[in-house]
Amino acid sequence: MTGHLPSLVPVLPEIILAVGAMVLLLLGVFQGDKSYTQVTNLSVALLAVAAFVMFGEVGSSRQITFGGMFITDAFALFAKTLVLIGSGVALLMSGRYMRDHNINKFEYPILVLLSTVGMMIMISASNLMSLYVGLELQSLSLYVLAAMNRDRIRSTEAGLKYFVLGALSSGMLLYGISLIYGFSGTTDFATLAATLKGMHEPAMGVTVGMVFLMAGLSFKVSAVPFHMWTPDVYEGSPTPVTAFFAAAPKVAALALFVRAMFSAFHGMTAEWQQVVIFISIASMLVGAFIALVQTNIKRLMAYSSIGHVGFALVGLAAGTEAGIQALLVYIAIYLTMTLGAFGAILTMRRSEGMVEDISDLSGLSQTNLPMAIGIATLMFSLAGIPLLAGFFGKWYVFKAAVDAGLVPLAVIGLVTSVVSCYYYLRIIKIMFFDEPAPAFEGGQGRTVGLVVGVAAVLNSPVSFLLISPLVAAAAWAAGSLIL
């Protein structure tokens, strides 16, 4: 018994969250929905405890457990930190909105916790089987969260669309895994990498399986052409749920994408690089041009997220350690930008309820100047204006692409970034130069205002002082993936 205990240490944060979620589920069942606030606060505390335990492993070397199916390294610690932050902030922002819309169900924070467990398993997966288990644990929770507002047709529609298309993507992913296993004889990343390295030329079945695997992962990060669910799900889901979707799951899926390509298929970089370049270009183009005609701010943020996934994938397309480092820097900055932006959307409330049209921000600078400045800072950062955090994210991914010889990809990224400036700057123009619309009510409480304020500060020129530690941490994480 004693000999098996150390193997549980790397997975201790996941165990804490899973067991804690079960205990909170019992609490919710016995106390009913009146326990919503208590369960939410305890869920955030659980996320903090998991992070504390995880940071205790920072000094540890690479650890592998469960027969090589689960790995903890610097890359996993970096990505899991972002996921825990994203989940915790999304929960903190959701309180008043969920109460106002009568969807303050105790199941909500528990589903977020279980989804977070799935994300952490995804990030640490070193086997195609653990990859799938983590992915499905995350996805099943997200399907229910999307349809959380059962009395609203759009929310139910969002959950149904997400479920049907998610099931399709899972089928593609499983088919890819079966092909890879059938032609290589293994599902373990390290063994698969060694097998491919020993082949003079990869078997066609492995290549086809890898493409199907990438298609399934592309759906999870909402990359084109597997993005069709994103605008409807973002618009239909409750806004705090949309904020959660745009933050933590996106980070986890991108981290999984990177680990799978570099740990299992590093010997096939030339093959998967072509696919990544295609979906990166397609995502940047769709995100830039279709967002131009959006009038609903949540749909605009959906297409914005598709574009940002394209920018992040530029780092993966580079196929180098510098590319991984750039991608990690990018998703860390993107997390702050998107949480701040959705915090701002949560403040768009009037007496008749929540409003989501971009035109509702008209003249915000005259009715709530601090909020207008915060939103403007975030929009400038999302656009990649120099000296703001978003600029540094794009700088590093484009630099990695240029250093890898992918100059055309970097140029396309630069052009689409310029195009996307239009719809970000349009929001700023509406807030500062249009006739004021009726003022919003008191927002969603101090927590949401604090999130927007902190996100705006982190994305302001102050980011120039913070970028160096972030780049160093990302380099440390990327170095652990490339052995």
Given this model, what pLDDT does residue 59 score? 56
Given this model, what pLDDT does residue 2 score? 44
Query: Domain check: are 336 and 387 in the same one?
Result: yes
Given this model, what pLDDT does residue 443 score? 56
User: 435 lies in a domain?
Assistant: yes
Query: Domain check: are 119 and 253 in the same one?
Result: yes
Given this model, what pLDDT does residue 390 score? 87
Residues in the chain: 483
Pair of tokens at residue 327: 């991608």
CA dist., res. 122 & res. 130, Å (int): 7
Cis peptide upstream of residue 225 (ω within 30 degrees of 0): yes
Query: Domain check: are 177 and 54 in the same one?
Result: yes
**pLDDT averaged per 10 residues, the chain (length 483):** 58 90 90 84 92 75 80 89 92 83 84 93 90 90 86 83 88 91 87 80 84 90 87 87 89 91 84 90 92 88 91 90 92 92 84 78 84 90 88 92 90 92 90 80 72 88 86 88 72
How many helices (H) and strands (E) the chain has is answered by 20, 4
Burial class (CB in 10 A: 0-12, 13-18, 19+), 200: exposed
Query: Domain check: are 212 and 353 in the same one?
Result: no
- In the chain, % helix, strand, coil (3-state, to 5) comes to 80, 5, 20
Burial class (CB in 10 A: 0-12, 13-18, 19+), 339: buried
Cβ-contact 17, 116 below 8 angstroms: yes
User: 1 lies in a domain?
Assistant: no
The pTM for the full model equals 0.91
Query: Domain check: are 255 and 281 in the same one?
Result: no
Cβ-contact 295, 314 below 8 angstroms: no
Of the three residues 264, 299, 316, the one that is the final residue of a domain is 264
Q: Is 72 helix (H, G, I), strand (E, B) or coil?
A: strand
Query: Domain check: are 121 and 256 in the same one?
Result: yes
Given this model, what pLDDT does residue 57 score? 67
User: 239 lies in a domain?
Assistant: yes
User: 3 lies in a domain?
Assistant: no
DSSP one-letter code for 440: P
Query: Domain check: are 32 and 97 in the same one?
Result: yes
Question: What residues contact residue 453 under an 8 Å CB cut-off, 6+ apart?
Answer: 370, 374
Query: Domain check: are 353 and 288 in the same one?
Result: yes
Query: Domain check: are 197 and 312 in the same one?
Result: no
Cβ-contact 193, 259 below 8 angstroms: no
Query: Domain check: are 176 and 305 in the same one?
Result: no
Query: Domain check: are 131 and 72 in the same one?
Result: yes
User: 31 lies in a domain?
Assistant: yes
DSSP one-letter code for 349: E
CA dist., res. 459 & res. 453, Å (int): 10
Query: Domain check: are 21 and 58 in the same one?
Result: yes
Identify the domain containing residue 170 by its residue range: 8-264
Given this model, what pLDDT does residue 279 score? 93
User: 2 lies in a domain?
Assistant: no
User: 309 lies in a domain?
Assistant: yes
Of the three residues 264, 281, 296, the one that is the final residue of a domain is 264
CA dist., res. 25 & res. 4, Å (int): 29
Q: What's the domain count of the chain?
A: 2
Of the three residues 232, 264, 296, the one that is the final residue of a domain is 264
Given this model, what pLDDT does residue 58 score? 60
